[in-house]
Amino acid sequence: MTSLAPPPAAQAFEPVIGLEIHAQLLTATKIFCGCSTQFGAPPNTHVCPVCLGLPGALPVLNGEAVTFAAKVGHALGCTVHPTSIFARKNYFYPDLPKGYQISQYERPLATDGGVTYEEGGTTRRIGIIRVHLEEDAGKSLHEGFPDSDTRTYLDFNRSGVPLIEIVTHPDLRSAAEAGAFFSRLRAILVAIGVNDGNMEEGSLRCDANVSVRAAGAQGFGVKAEIKNLNSFRHVHRAIEYEIERQVSLLRKGTRIVAETRLWDVGAGRTTSMRSKEEAHDYRYFPEPDLPPLELDPARIEEIRRTLPELPDARRQRFISQYALPEYDAALLTQSSALADYFEATAAAATNAKAASNWIMGDLTRKMNELGVEIGQARVAMPPDALGGLIRLVDSGRISSPIAKEVFEKMYGSGRAAADVVEGEGLAQIDDHAAVEAAVWEVLAAHPGPAAQYRAGRTQTFGFLVGQVMKATRGKAKPTLVNDLMRRALESPEGTR
Ligand code: ADP
Ligand code: ZN
Ligand code: MG
């Protein structure tokens, strides 16, 4: 008996994805000159002979960019090399006035790392091939001018802005996984303070390499590279589209060609841009105007030691130290600023879970409502203030519904929780006699539901309790109301 391969149409395919991520380093000045990296300046105001590529202008390497790049190397578990070499990558583009980009090629700054994390109960490791330094190109402006239909304008403010390129192994296996990994990487870069994570401004973008292969196969299929994806959504959708495109070609028996493709956001598809360029097309050679980049091993080690706690480690710590559910920990460690806010609030409240609930609940709602970030929210509601509110709830001074009201009054006002409670007379009524009086008043006012309860239709209980809460403007202590209401209803009819 011979075993036949299944016909292509019935065959299952597995996607294989590798990402090349470009991240702008948060230095004040460019990588090889003193020009500002500030975003949004009028076109061509942050330029000089070096970043315009004028003859005779010589590049001088920005030390801070090197430190930041080395941090990234460490954060991604790579070996940071004491010697790396800049190279010229030659190609023509109108926004690349030198006719070459200074990058690193054969000897990048950092190599051979990986990012390990837990996902749905399994451990995933995405290998990192390399992290290297390079300069950004300028920007061609195809839109926004009266004569944009016939002319393209050039803005060189970006020219020479420091970038790192991070190249992963083809270890990702779905569009969703690639999107999630990109987001994880963003969190790392932002947490270590080297990138602002701002994808709209182009500070972080990614090229996705996608191929598919028969499920279970060892080798790789021919890949297409989708250029310049600048949001998680685009990464996800472009890869998803590309996987389907390749699978349907293979099912028809058509070969995939190696090429560079573009994601057309409007049309929701990838289109061919050019056939795949090869490294030798770029005529790489060592940059004659820059010496090899030498880093003292002691300095490399010192940079490693200054790394802050990384988001995944912090998430794990939140689970173990504060006994938070995984869900809370993942949410709270999405940004360092949010995680810092949580830790400060948890300490002030001496109740971590309550701090988490308030942050994920009312504070997040408020931030969405006002369209503000945690930085601004922290000013409007300092951790100590929110902690104070939580302590009032925990001590029984105010009920949870009242606490929400107090929260509203505190936000942006600079008032402390105790102050609001005092000033507005919102303290919880836990005076036995007062609550009991309210209970009997409600029973007298609603004889019907009371009689129904006593006749065994106990669903009316909630209604009666609600009436007491209403009568006391939410201030009666709920457990006490429950208690006294039950006692009143179960006492011999109508007697106190
Ligand atoms: P190239 O020489 O074509 O530029 P590289 O080996 O430099 O390819 O890899 C570039 C990126 O493409 C890396 O992120 C790598 O993981 C990814 N990659 C390589 N081969 C494949 C493949 N067959 N399918 C998907 N991604 C791949
Ligand atoms: Zn310059
Ligand atoms: Mg490559």
Look at phi and psi of residue 187 and say left if phi exceeds 0, alpha if psi is from -120 to 50, else beta: alpha
pLDDT of residue 251: 93
d(CA 23, CA 131): 11
pLDDT of residue 9: 56
Å from CA of 20 to ligand 3 middle: 8
pLDDT of residue 222: 95
Pocket test for ligand 1, best of 209, 222, 281 (most atoms within 8 A of CB): 209
The minimum-distance atom of ligand 1 relative to the CA of 225 is 12
Q: Find out whether 346 and 390 touch, Cβ atoms under 8 Å.
A: no
Å from CA of 278 to ligand 3 middle: 8
Mean pLDDT of 257-284: 88
206 residue type, one letter: C
DSSP 476: B
> Both tokens of residue 80?
């940071």
Atom 7 of ligand 1, residue of closest alpha carbon = 167
Long-range CB contacts (within 8 A, 24+) of 351-358: 351/390, 351/391, 351/394, 352/322, 352/323, 352/324, 353/322, 353/323, 353/324, 353/328, 354/390, 354/393, 354/394, 355/386, 355/387, 355/390, 356/322, 356/324, 356/328, 356/332, 358/386, 358/389, 358/390, 358/407
pLDDT of residue 424: 85
What confidence tens digit (pLDDT) does each residue in 401-418 have?
889 999 999 999 999 999
| Angle, CA of 366, 368 and 370, to the nearest 5° | 70
125 residue type, one letter: R
Using the predicted structure, report yes or no on whether residue 360 has a pLDDT greater than 60. yes
What confidence tens digit (pLDDT) does each residue in 198-208 have?
999 999 999 99
Q: Find out whether 61 and 31 touch, Cβ atoms under 8 Å.
A: yes
Using the predicted structure, report yes or no on whether residue 375 has a pLDDT greater than 60. yes
| Residue % of the chain over a pLDDT of 90 | 82
Give the residue with greater pLDDT, 97 vs 279: 97
Mean pLDDT of 431-454: 92
The minimum-distance atom of ligand 1 relative to the CA of 258 is 3
Report every protein residue that has its C-beta within 5 angstroms of ion ligand 2.
33, 35, 48, 50-51
Ligand nearest to the CA of 168: 1
Q: Which residues line ligand 1 (CB under 6 A)?
A: 16-20, 167-170, 209-211, 220-221, 223
Using the predicted structure, report yes or no on whether residue 6 has a pLDDT greater than 60. no
Instruction: Kindly indicate the confidence band of residue 149, based on its pLDDT and cuts at 50, 70 and 90.
Output: very high
Atom 13 of ligand 1, residue of closest alpha carbon = 18
Mean pLDDT of 17-34: 98
Give the end-to-end CA distance of the chain in Å, rounded to a whole number.
Answer: 91
The string of DSSP codes covering 106-145 is SS-SEEEEEEEEEETTEEEEEEEEEEEEEE---EEE-SSS
Mean pLDDT of 86-90: 97
The pTM assigned to this predicted structure is: 0.81
Mean pLDDT of 202-229: 94
The minimum-distance atom of ligand 1 relative to the CA of 20 is 14
Ligand nearest to the CA of 34: 2
Ligand nearest to the CA of 97: 2
Pocket test for ligand 1, best of 212, 220, 223 (most atoms within 8 A of CB): 223
Q: Which of 29-38, 112-121, 183-192, 380-389 has the lowest mean pLDDT?
A: 112-121
Q: Please, what is the average pLDDT of the chain?
A: 93
C-alpha 425 chain-centroid distance: 41
**Residue 225: in which H helix or E strand, if any?**
strand 224-229
148 residue type, one letter: S
Q: Which of 60-69, 96-105, 431-440 has the lowest mean pLDDT?
A: 431-440
Q: Tell me the domain boundaries of the chain.
A: 13-299, 311-423, 432-490
pLDDT of residue 10: 62
Mean pLDDT of 131-150: 93
Instruction: Kindly indicate the confidence band of residue 496, based on its pLDDT and cuts at 50, 70 and 90.
Output: low
Long-range CB contacts (within 8 A, 24+) of 485-493: 485/439, 485/461, 486/461, 488/436, 488/439, 488/440, 488/443, 489/443, 489/450, 489/453, 489/454, 489/461, 489/464, 493/454
The string of DSSP codes covering 162-211 is EEEEEEE-S-B-SHHHHHHHHHHHHHHHHHTTS----TTTTSEEEEEEEE
Å from CA of 101 to ligand 2 middle: 14
Using the predicted structure, report yes or no on whether residue 7 has a pLDDT greater than 80. no
Does CATH place domain 432-490 in 1.10.10.410? yes
The minimum-distance atom of ligand 1 relative to the CA of 170 is 16
pLDDT of residue 477: 86
Q: Alpha helix locations (H) across 192-296?
A: 232-251
pLDDT of residue 1: 47
Paired sense of beta strands 13-24 and 204-214, if any: antiparallel
Q: Which of 31-45, 148-162, 227-241, 481-495 has the lowest mean pLDDT?
A: 481-495
Instruction: Kindly indicate the confidence band of residue 118, based on its pLDDT and cuts at 50, 70 and 90.
Output: confident
pLDDT of residue 426: 84
Atom 11 of ligand 1, residue of closest alpha carbon = 18
pLDDT of residue 479: 87
Using the predicted structure, report yes or no on whether residue 439 has a pLDDT greater than 90. yes
Å from CA of 279 to ligand 3 middle: 7
Residue 270 Cα distances to 27, 92, 223, 229, 316, angstroms: 34, 24, 13, 11, 38
Give 135's Cβ-side CA count (13 Å radius).
Answer: 37
